[in-house]
Amino acid sequence: EQIIFKETLPSTQPEAHQLAQQGAPAGTIVICEEQTSGRGRMQREWKSQKGKGIWMSVILRPNVPPYEAPQFTLVAAVAIAKAIEEVADIRPEIKWPNDLLIDGLKITGILTELQADPDRVNALIMGIGINVNHETDDFPEDIRDIATSLKLQTGKEIDRAKLIARILLHLENYSNMYVESGFQPIKKEWENYSCTIGQQIKVSTINEVFYGKAVAITNDGVLKVQLPDGETRSVYSADIEI
């Protein structure tokens, strides 16, 4: 295990990809104080203000087939939610698949990328961005009504090192649990944090947009959405709006 800390990086993701390619062991972490071109899912920009948040990429090497990679986003969401709850004493909600919200506002985004052969994962690069000690002014105006920080929500400055340590501990435990026994033992905790199940949602996949009710998460971590005509769809990867 190795922690690579840099003051400024364009993004921790490509740095971690490169290390993984070169054989860096599971548990290797790239972390920085500021990202100048942080990125989110769907090629979106991810604002990463200096010293305010946790901007890191963690290399995992689980022995799973590539189609199981998306489940690690769910696993990481539970690990981070639990760490936030312990350190900041506030309970985030998980919005399927990769967002943590407090009071409906985004506190954390997770970007899971993989390096894989056809039948097995070589490395998962888990990009984790957490808004920790931002004041309102630290957020660009156009995201002030959708984003928040732990400090804004709790009124307290949060110790980032402590939070990172708890995240890494839980991430290791839950991903081992997943590799050994699948999503099922983690499902209950995921459901307890979830704000998605039971809601009417808008689902946007690469191919289509549809509306329905999120009725369940399966033992494999697949979202079940019931359409107005009663048909149920399995959703593996999408953006949703509640």
> Among residues 104 and 185, whose Cβ is nearest to ligand BTN?
104
Minimum separation from the CB atom of position 72 to ligand BTN (A): 14
Structure-block tokens of residue 18: 């490169």
Nearest residue to ligand BTN by CB is 109
E strand or H helix at 1: none
Among residues 80 and 87, whose Cβ is nearest to ligand BTN?
A: 80
Rounded CA gap, 86 and 228, in Å? Answer: 39
CB of 188: closest distance to ligand BTN in angstroms? Answer: 24
With CA atoms as reference, report the closest residue to 224 among 190, 242, 206, 199: 199
Our CA angle for 60, 1, 111, nearest 5°, is: 30
Write down the least CB distance from residue 229 to ligand BTN, Å. 31
Instruction: State the minimum distance, in angstroms, from the CB of residue 40 to ligand BTN.
Output: 3
DSSP of 55-84: EEEEEE--S--GGGTTHHHHHHHHHHHHHH
Between 64 and 101, whose beta carbon lies closer to ligand BTN?
101
DSSP code for 205: -
Nearer to ligand BTN, 62 or 129 (CB): 129
Cis bond leading into 97, ω under 30°? yes
Residues in contact with ligand BTN by CB under 6 A are: 11-13, 35, 38-41, 44, 46, 48, 55-57, 98-99, 109-111, 127-129
To ligand BTN, the closest distance from the beta carbon of 242 in angstroms equals 15
- Give the nearer residue to ligand BTN in terms of CB position, either 129 or 221: 129
Please, are residues 238 and 225 in contact by the beta-carbon 8 Å criterion?
no
d(C-alpha 220, C-alpha 15), whole Å = 30
Q: Backbone phi, then psi, for 29, in 5-degree steps? A: -130, 135
Shortest CB 41 distance to ligand BTN, Å: 4
Nearer to ligand BTN, 38 or 216 (CB): 38
